[in-house]
Structures are given as structure tokens and as C-alpha cells.
Structure 1
Amino acid sequence: MAGPGFFGRHSNVYTYVPNLIGYARVAAALYAFGVAFKSPYQCIIAYFLSFVCDELDGRFARMLNQTSTLGAVLDMVTDRLATTGLLIIVSLVYPQIHTLCIALVFLDIFSHWFQMYASLALGATTHKDVRSKSGLVRLYYSNRVFMGYCCICCEVLYLVIYASMWPGVMGIALPLPNGVRLELPARVLEVAPVLERFLVPSGVSIMTILGIAALPGFFTKQICNWVQLRTAADQLIAVDAQKKK
């Protein structure tokens, strides 16, 4: 059990260890976005550290008994802003998919804010205290492995798309046997020439492998977001209907 003092529950919530980690997370994300078009390695490493902080803040909050409403809001808002920032970078790298990036931002923010307000309206203290009718949403918030898988896959996919503008990063590859080359059909390249960035003539790009592996989790996360948005909206309507009785 955590003792009194800095590593226990004290009066200055701003200096709670998990909140300090949250501030560091914001700083790391801002740094990542600041160097995104100068140093891809620094960007990816800084964003990865920010993502690691997202896991650490919750662990320290529970371990040190330093949970707080400030920390919960800081965590959620940083989640949304970090993902939004990364999607902005992706939309700048590939302007042709900027509408898709905006749609993903809309879905992410809408679903989580609707979920938060629905949870509060039902008497919960956090959006993760789920009283949703959807089994998928309850699974998402109650199973940390499932939630982590979905979130990590989204971030990895966005980072891979960002990294594809840097041949040096994409060139980190697993070698192929002599004489073997990976090539896409000419017709595919005519329709989507950008896919050539994900290929390495002499091997299989590790970033491409990560991107392909992340696709199932990415799609699962978007389904969760949509279901969460719909069920949260239903809950808000039900709350209003209950008040009128």
C-alpha cells in the first residue's frame, strides 16, 4: 500500500504521479508532431513514448491510490488530441485521403464524448464505467487486453502510413531469398500508385508487415466506436424520456 506524501494520496492533485506522466505524454506528443516532417525516427519514438505513458498513468494511479477526475479527463482528452494530431499528419502526407482522416476524427471524438456524457447521465464517474446495452462496448472497456489491442492497432497503422513517406524507414526490411521480388500488379499500381511506397524490392518492409497486422484491430476499433456512439445516443434519449415521466 502506498504511504503518505508524494507517492500517496495528498492534497495537490496537479502533482499526482499519474498526472505528471500525463503532462509528459502531452509534451511527447507535441514534440512528435513538431518534428514529424524533419525526423521520422524522432517522431515515431516520441509518439511511442507518449503512447507508453498512456498505459503507465493508469497503472500508477491505481497503484498509488492517486486516481482523480482531473487525471481521468486529462487522459481522455489527450487520447483524442493525440489521435487527431496523428491523423492530421497522415492527411498532410496523403491529401487524397484527408476526408477519410477527418471522418475518423469525427467518429473518434463523437463516440467518446457521447459515451462520457451518457455515462455521467447514468450516474457513472467515468466513461469507462460502462452501462451500455452493447456487449461489444462492455467488452471493450472491461477487457484491457482487447482495448489495448484495438488502440495499439490504430496507432500503429497511422504511424505506418506516416512512415511510408520516408524511404529510409520503409527500407528496414526482412530479406527475401535471392531472385525473389515483391511486386504489385500494374493495374493495382495504376489505381493506387502510392502502394508502391510500401514495397521494398529486396525484402519485406517491417513497417508494411506491422501495418497489415494492425488492420483487423483498426477495423474492430472503428466498429466499437460506431456501436459506442449509437448506444450512447440511445442512452441519452432514454435519460431525457425518463425525466419527462
Structure 2
Amino acid sequence: MARTTSPQHRQALGFFERHGNVHIYVANLIGYARVAFAAYAFAVALSSPGRMVTAYWLSFVCDELDGRFARMFNQTSTLGTVMDMVTDRVATSCLLCILCVLVPTATPLFLAILGLDIFSHWFQMYATLVAGAASHKDVHSSSAIIRTYYRHRLFMGACCICCEVLYLSLYLLAWPQWRAAWPVALPPALAARLPPRFAPDEVPAVALLALAALPGTVIKQVVNVVQLRTAAQRLVEYDNKRDGRRRG
């Protein structure tokens, strides 16, 4: 005997498939939650570091989940893609601005990183648009480091995570209670190699976390510089081709 499916059951199944209401795609609902977590994180950033970091990491987890669910349920959308990209840039920008407030002596460095991030991604986005690509991640670059970065998602993900870990670690180190949390004793061999004034008996675990994330963060900034340069070259090539067609 054939089993019948109720209209409610069919509707529930349809929710987890590609349907006509893009606004309530599962991936986009996760994207909205990501924005809400990020907004809350920055609302409490200057008063509650524990809640800030918790909310920010929940937002970061949503960033990982939205793409997975979009592919799982065939619910990829332009709305979701743009929301993901813009939330990335806004979240990073806000976090760097918070660091400028908490660590004013490093403001020039944080602003330089912020400016590079915005310049690089906006140039890359426009280069992608004129090339007719679907994503700024599928632009075929002449640069080996850019190709490696986008073709190896684990490498790209590790660099992005390193950036977040470093920025959040620096944020926590700006608070006295976190600088004193979970002290780790330096190995004697390492302490002996350091000048006495720079050789504390213990260092915060958060500082070691920041140090571990530094190489990946540096690689990400190098990628941003190269990406900015190659995107600018693509825009110039586009202008030259367009002018050539006009003259022809």
C-alpha cells in the first residue's frame, strides 16, 4: 500500500529544498543569526569581553555553517553570497575599530590592516564583476599565491581563522583580567635566550595563542596585497579592451 504524504509534511520537506522564498532559505536564516550575534558582540565589546568573544565566535561559526547548508539544500543565492561577504568585511572592520579604542598606540597598524582589507576585497569584487565570474573566489589569477589560496580551502580557512584568533587575542589582552588568566611558564631554554627585561617567568595563554596565529595572519595580509595588485591589473586590462573595441 502506497504511503501518502500530508500537505504539511510536503511543505516541511520543501523548506529544506530550493523554493521560491529566498529570504527564508536555511542558509540565509543562519546568515541573519550571524549578523545578530556580531551586532550583540560589538554592543558589549567595551564592557564585557567574555560575552563579546562568545558572541563573536558564534557569529564566526555561523559563517562556516551558512555555506555548508546552502550547498546541502541547494539553496545558494545572490542574497546569501552578498550578505556573507558584507558581513565578513563589517565584522572585521568593527573588530579592528574596537582594537583602535582599546590599544590606541597600535591604531595606525590596525587602520592600515582595515584599509588594506577593504581596498583588496572591493577591488577584487569589481574585477570579478567585469570578468563575469560568479564569486570573487573563482577569479583565475596569474599570481601563484592567489591561486593556492583560493584552490586550497583548508589553507584559506586556516589563514582566516588565524586572523580572527589574533584579533580576538589582542582584544582580550587589552583587559587586565584576561592578561592574568591561565599563565604559562616559559621553557627555561627559551627564557635563557631572551634579554632579562623581556623574559617574564610566565606569559598569558592568550598571548601564546596570538603568537601562534601570527604567521597565518601575515600570509592573509600578503594575499590581500597581491589580490589588490592583480585586481587593479584586471581592471586596467578591462579598460584597455573596452577602449580597443570602441576604436575598432
For the 8 Å contact 1:119–1:131, the answer to whether it is kept is no
Q: What pairs up with 1:163-202 in 2 under 5 angstroms?
A: 163-176=172-185, 185=195
Unaligned runs of 5+ in 2: 1-11
SS in 1 for 2:63: helix
| Alignment partner, residue 19 of structure 1 | 28
Of 135-144 and 85-94, more deviation after overlay is shown by 135-144
Residue equivalent to 2:5: none
Q: Map of 1:1-245 to 2, 5 A cutoff?
A: 5-176=14-185, 185=195, 203-245=202-244
3-state SS, counterpart of residue 208 of structure 2: helix
Cα distance in 1 for partners of 2:235, 2:15 equals: 40
Q: Which moved more, 1:110-119 or 1:162-171?
A: 162-171
1:92-120 C-alpha deviation (Å, 9 max, x unpaired): 00111212211111110111111111112
Which secondary structure does the structure 1 equivalent of 2:137 belong to?
coil
Q: 1:193 — aligned with what?
A: none
* Conserved 8 A contact 1:61-1:67: yes
Tell me by how many angstroms 1:40 deviates: 0.9
The structure with the largest helix share of the pair is 2
Which amino acid in the other structure matches residue 166 of structure 2?
Answer: L
- Please give the TM-score of this superposition, normalised by the length of structure 2: 0.86
**Structure 1: gaps (5+ residues):** 189-195
Distance 2:185 2:216 in 1: 27
Letter in 2 for 1:236: L
Partners of 1:233 and 1:4 in 2: CA distance: 46
Q: Could you tell me how far apart the structure 1 residues matched to 2:51 and 2:78 are?
A: 32
C-alpha distance in structure 1 between counterparts of 2:110 and 2:183, whole Å: 30
- 1:139 is displaced (CA, Å) by 1.7
The answer as to whether partners of 2:100 and 2:106 remain within 8 angstroms in 1 is: yes
Q: Deviations over 1:15-62 (max 9, x none)?
A: 111111111111111111111121111111111111111111111111
**Shift of the alpha carbon at 1:4?**
5.2
Kindly tell me: are residues 11 and 214 of structure 1, through their superposed partners in 2, closer, same or farther at Cα, counting changes over 3 Å? same
Q: What is the CA-CA distance between 1:171 and the residue it aligns to?
A: 2.5
What amino acid sits opposite 1:64 in the alignment?
F
SS of alignment partner, residue 15 of structure 2 = coil
CA contact (8 A) 1:4 1:10 kept: no
1:116-147 per-position Cα deviation (integer Å, ceiling 9, x unaligned): 11112111011111221112112212211111
Residue 3 of structure 2: aligned partner: none
* Structure 1 ranges of 4+ moved more than 3 A: 174-177, 182-188
Contact 2:184–2:205 (Cα < 8 Å) also in 1: no
TM-fit CA distance, 1:204: 3.5
Identify the range of structure 1 (161-170 vs 75-84) with the bigger mean alpha-carbon deviation: 161-170
Q: Is the 8 A contact 1:8 1:64 kept in 2?
A: yes
Q: Normalising to structure 1: TM-score of the pair?
A: 0.87
